[in-house]
């Protein structure tokens, strides 16, 4: 194997490592791995802007195996003027997710909100044409890049009748089925979801959706899943959530919790946080109890990346991490429900190593170097910074490996995507700091735990 081949192989194997043990702030495995071990996913909504908050981005990379774009695939973002399609921000979310080995849920194609005025003012015939064209173009662009799409969002009123949106008023009852048929034709490989809120428990609204899905199944309208947003209030998780998910699953569709947050009156206190933890556990357990519940997505991940305070004044603290990106009791509760410490479920993970041999002639790249520096130390923990420097040639990605010798572990990191296996740690570049000109450097950091000695490891750096 040539030198470049060796580098490629090292990077490939680093990329293929399954996180076995983890960076989690709790010292448990990240939720994405715990959920995967239960055949589910854990995800969170991210906006393109969220990727600029590097610590938050690192938190999502560590915890979430799925990303839902918060706004970037909605109609106002993708087709602001008729036929004027723009995918820049949606593509940024996809690229960011791919860089952290995260899958993407598409959200959303046909909705009454965040849809430009030009759409709303079309005549019925034109509106139908525009809807199908939008579905074709947006789904065509993202074909092969997403695993699911929310085709139609929030089309029901609280009493279980159709919401009197411009879609409903101009196109009538048939528009939802038309949207699903167009979606299947546009991309037969992606899962097609209907998505709504206040449908989490059994009630008039979820009955309305249920009857529609049942009719779709009988009529052969292509629908694969139903998303339950689960924008909930502390202490008010509907007691029929599990039964509700199950009755939909029994119709022959997948179900998913798609936008979970559980808000409270702020400020939070320990009693509210404890109730919220029980609520998060209840939702997680409801999903785990239903075989066809494929996963849970939270709408944001930390309390400073949440839509709640802006829309419900005086409320917030709705997510599993606080505004300092520290795990809340809700996080521990989800972790435990998914099988983390505190339960007896055994988590097994597999490690796959792919070896790529690249034969090349000419000047081999001069790779990179890494220096590891402890920048702070306290009882039980420490902070470290690793500097990655390109050699005499530019690089486009890097991986830094080291082994802890004193039982240290990583709790949280930034500016790199870390995976750990026992005492071995691999830190890979993020989407935004892999490319380094010749001689240039970048740093990433982490907070770790240590008890007693904390020897400075000797990292090795590989680059391509």
C-beta of 50: minimal distance to ligand 9MR in Å? Answer: 10
Q: Which is nearer to ligand 9MR, 254 or 259 (CB)?
A: 259
- The upper half-sphere exposure of residue 338, i.e. CA atoms within 13 Å in the direction of its Cβ, equals 29
Closest CA to 459 of 393, 324, 369: 369
- Is 307 one of the binding residues for ligand 9MR (CB under 6 A)? yes
C-beta of 166: minimal distance to ligand 9MR in Å? Answer: 16
Token pair listed for 161: 């009748």
Please calculate the CA angle 422-32-146 and round it to the nearest 5 degrees.
Answer: 130
C-beta of 153: minimal distance to ligand 9MR in Å? Answer: 6
C-beta of 108: minimal distance to ligand 9MR in Å? Answer: 6
Token pair listed for 149: 């799409």
- Is 113 one of the binding residues for ligand 9MR (CB under 6 A)? yes
Q: Which is nearer to ligand 9MR, 75 or 197 (CB)?
A: 197
- Is 360 one of the binding residues for ligand 9MR (CB under 6 A)? no
Q: Which is nearer to ligand 9MR, 23 or 225 (CB)?
A: 225
The answer to whether the CB of 396 falls within 8 A of the CB of 366 is no
- Stated as kind and residue range, the H or E segment containing 373 is strand 368-378
The answer to whether the CB of 450 falls within 8 A of the CB of 382 is yes
The answer to whether the CB of 289 falls within 8 A of the CB of 244 is no
Site for ligand 9MR (CB under 6 A): how many residues?
9
- Is 229 one of the binding residues for ligand 9MR (CB under 6 A)? yes
What is the pairing mode between strands 254-265 and 231-233? parallel
Residue whose C-beta lies closest to ligand 9MR? 307
The secondary structure of 137-202 as a DSSP string is HHHHHHTTT-SEEEEEE--B-TTSSBP--HHHHHH-TTHHHHHHHHHHHH-TTSEEEEEESS-SSS
- Is 377 one of the binding residues for ligand 9MR (CB under 6 A)? no
- Is 70 one of the binding residues for ligand 9MR (CB under 6 A)? yes
Catalytic residue selected from 259, 282, 315, 385: 259
- Binding string, 122-161, against ligand 9MR, x = CB under 6 A? -------------------------------x--------
- Is 120 one of the binding residues for ligand 9MR (CB under 6 A)? no
Burial of 140 (0-12, 13-18, 19+ CB in 10 A): exposed
C-beta of 25: minimal distance to ligand 9MR in Å? Answer: 24
Q: Which is nearer to ligand 9MR, 70 or 238 (CB)?
A: 70
Q: Which is nearer to ligand 9MR, 92 or 429 (CB)?
A: 92
Which parts of 162-221 interact with ligand 9MR (CB under 6 A)? 197
Active site residue 178: no
Among 259, 279, 282, 303, binds ligand 9MR (CB under 6 A): 259
Question: Which residues have C-beta within 8 Å of that of residue 42, sequence separation ≥ 6?
Answer: 31, 32, 34, 35, 63, 64, 65, 66, 295, 296, 297, 334, 338
* Cβ neighbours around 324 below 10 Å, total: 9
Among 54, 71, 421, 435, binds ligand 9MR (CB under 6 A): 71
- The upper half-sphere exposure of residue 292, i.e. CA atoms within 13 Å in the direction of its Cβ, equals 17
Kindly list the residues in this chain that would bind ligand 9MR in the complex (CB under 6 A). Answer: 70-71, 113-114, 153, 197, 229, 259, 307
Residues marked active site are found at 259
């Amino acid at each position: 194997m040539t030198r470049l081949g060796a580098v490629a192989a090292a990077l490939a194997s680093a990329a293929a490592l399954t996180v076995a043990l983890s960076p989690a702030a709790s010292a448990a495995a990240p939720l994405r791995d715990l959920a995967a071990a239960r055949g589910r996913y854990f995800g969170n909504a991210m906006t393109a802007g969220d990727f600029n908050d590097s610590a938050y981005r690192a938190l999502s990379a560590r915890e979430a195996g799925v990303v839902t774009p918060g706004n970037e695939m909605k109609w106002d973002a993708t087709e602001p003027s008729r036929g004027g399609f723009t995918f820049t921000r949606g593509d940024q979310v996809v690229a960011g997710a791919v860089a952290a080995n995260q899958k993407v849920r598409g959200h959303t194609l046909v909705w009454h909100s965040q849809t430009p005025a030009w759409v709303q003012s079309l005549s019925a015939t034109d509106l139908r044409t525009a809807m199908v064209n939008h579905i074709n173009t947006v789904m065509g662009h993202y074909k092969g890049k997403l695993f699911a799409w929310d085709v139609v969002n929030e089309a029901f009123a609280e009493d279980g009748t159709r919401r009197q949106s411009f879609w409903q008023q101009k196109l009538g009852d048939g528009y939802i089925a038309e949207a699903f048929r167009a979606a299947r034709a546009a991309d037969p490989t992606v899962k097609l979801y209907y998505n709504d809120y206040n449908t989490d428990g059994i009630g008039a609204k979820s009955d309305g959706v249920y009857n529609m899905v049942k009719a779709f199944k009988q009529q052969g309208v292509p629908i694969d899943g139903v998303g339950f947003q689960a924008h909930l209030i502390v202490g008010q998780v509907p007691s029929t959530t599990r039964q509700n998910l199950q009755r939909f699953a029994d119709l022959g569709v997948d179900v998913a919790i798609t936008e979970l947050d559980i808000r409270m009156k702020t400020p939070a206190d320990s009693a509210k946080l404890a109730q919220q933890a029980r609520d998060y556990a209840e939702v997680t357990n409801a999903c785990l109890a239903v075989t066809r519940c494929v996963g849970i997505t939270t709408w944001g991940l930390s309390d400073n990346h949440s839509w709640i305070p802006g829309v419900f004044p005086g409320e917030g603290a709705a997510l599993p991490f606080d505004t300092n990106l520290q795990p809340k009791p809700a996080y521990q509760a989800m972790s435990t429900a998914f099988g983390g410490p505190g339960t007896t479920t055994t988590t097994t993970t597999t490690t796959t190593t792919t070896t790529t041999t690249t034969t090349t002639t000419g000047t081999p790249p001069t790779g990179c170097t890494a220096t590891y520096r402890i920048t702070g130390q306290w009882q039980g923990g420490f902070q470290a910074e690793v500097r990655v420097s390109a050699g005499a040639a530019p690089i486009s990605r890097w991986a830094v490996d080291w082994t802890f010798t004193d039982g240290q572990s990583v709790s949280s990191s930034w500016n790199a995507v870390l995976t750990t296996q026992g005492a071995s740690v691999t830190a890979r570049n993020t989407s935004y700091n892999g490319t380094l000109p010749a001689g240039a450097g970048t740093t990433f950091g982490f907070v770790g735990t240590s008890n007693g000695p904390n020897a400075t490891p000797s990292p090795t750096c590989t680059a391509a």
